[in-house]
Structure 1
Amino acid sequence: MDEMKQVYKQPTSQEVIRQADHLALYDRYGSMAYGLILQIIPEPDLAQAVLVDLFTSPQLKSYAETPSQVAGEIIRLARNKALIAKPIHTTPSLSIPVSTTNDNTAKLVFDLSFCQGYTPEAIAEKLQLSRTNVLKSIYTYFKQLRSS
């Protein structure tokens, strides 16, 4: 019986506060993070596992302390965790025709960079664009998102 008492440990007050902070962050940003993770990993079971990993991460404690930057930090952390957890077989090849319109190119470049994790240099090489044009395409896509 004493062995069972040793196995179960009462959480400390700091652990309880940290869990409450994580739940509050999940309530506020969980759907945003899950949508982002699903864009990178289109498999719901794996995406949910990444979401759980995200909101149980010890890094979230520092985000709760700086509320002005929480959304951006959660997006950054969700993206990183999703890219790490993404199965290799879902990574598309970059042999994509460049004969698309400028709007489609901007969206494609953004998707390859943000959702697929390719560097601007790799995108420029495969799409036969300059690195500057890749960065301009990302900027253009951000401007389109903001105006929508």
Structure 2
Amino acid sequence: MTTAITYQEPELVARLRQKEETAFRYLYDHYAAALNGVILQIIPDQALASDILQEVFLNIWRRIETYDSSKGRLFTWMLNIARNAAIDMTRSKAYQNSQKNRELDSNVDTNADNSTISQIDHIGLSKVIGQLKEEHRVLIDLAYLKGYTHDEIATLLQIPLGTVKTRIRAALLQLRKIVT
């Protein structure tokens, strides 16, 4: 009978910084599914999301020394790496060209099976987000579900960047009140 190894976050970080493979396997086993889910929200292509996930874990392995526990939890740090990697992929020319060159049938099938809307409905977020004002709902969708930057949202909606930031902050405060 084998006992499962568990780590407290500080110990896990210390072992990762020592480049211990068992700690890295533990990290992958416990966080890969969550990080993959974040990537899939931005890039609804499982094969591409898996490739990005592998790159994310390589980046975590290489950059673990840059993690600062005083700025947040390890999971939050990894989540930001995953989200940024997925967003970077959507901005790459290769990805944009591949999206333009997909056949219509594959676009329809992929979007029907893996749409953000169905994922949101699955976990109940659409009901919560639906309680927001329309102007807030649109911004949350663009920023957090579709991965747009504040600058891109300002350009897309043709509103000042400061207004975008203010409304997103207000939306997040409103969401906090709804959820708690």
Give the structure-1-normalised TM-score: 0.64
Cross-structure match for 2:125:
none
State the Cα deviation string for residues 21-67 of structure 1 (Å, max 9, x = none). 22222233222211110111011111111112212333453378849
Q: Using the aligned pairs only, state the percent identity.
A: 28
Are residues 1:132 and 2:135 paired? no
Aligned equivalent of 1:109: 139
Distance 2:30 2:79 in 1: 13
Aligned to 2:65, which of 42, 51, 62? 62
Distance 1:102 1:65 in 2: 34
In structure 2, distance between residues paired with 1:111 and 1:62 = 33
The answer to whether the Cα contact below 8 Å between 1:110 and 1:137 also exists between their aligned partners in 2 is no
- Name the CA shift for 1:124/1:69 in 2 (closer, same or farther; >3 Å): same
Aligned residues between the structures: 123
- How far apart, CA to CA, are the structure 1 residues paired with 2:159 and 2:149? 13
Bigger radius of gyration among the two: 1
Write the letter of the residue equivalent to 1:61: I
Q: Structure 1 pair 24/136, CA: closer, same or farther in 2 (3 Å)?
A: same
Aligned ranges 1:1-148 → 2 under 5 Å: 15=19, 17=20, 19-57=21-59, 58-59=61-62, 61-62=64-65, 66=69, 69-86=73-90, 87-88=95-96, 89=99, 103-146=133-176, 147-148=178-179
Q: Distance in 1 between matches of 2:174 and 2:28?
A: 28
1:129 aligns to what SS in structure 2? coil
CA distance in 2, matches of 1:65, 1:26: 20
Give structure 2 stretches of 5+ with no counterpart. 1-17, 101-130
Secondary structure, in 3 states, of the residue corresponding to 1:56? helix
Deviation of 1:131 after TM superposition, in Å, equals 1.9
Q: 1:31 is matched by which residue type in structure 2?
A: A
Asked if the contact 1:120/1:135 (under 8 Å) is kept, the reply is yes
Give the TM-score of the pair, scaled to structure 2: 0.55
* SS at 2:56 equivalent: helix
**Whole-Å Cα distance in 2 between the matches of residues 79 and 38 of structure 1?**
10
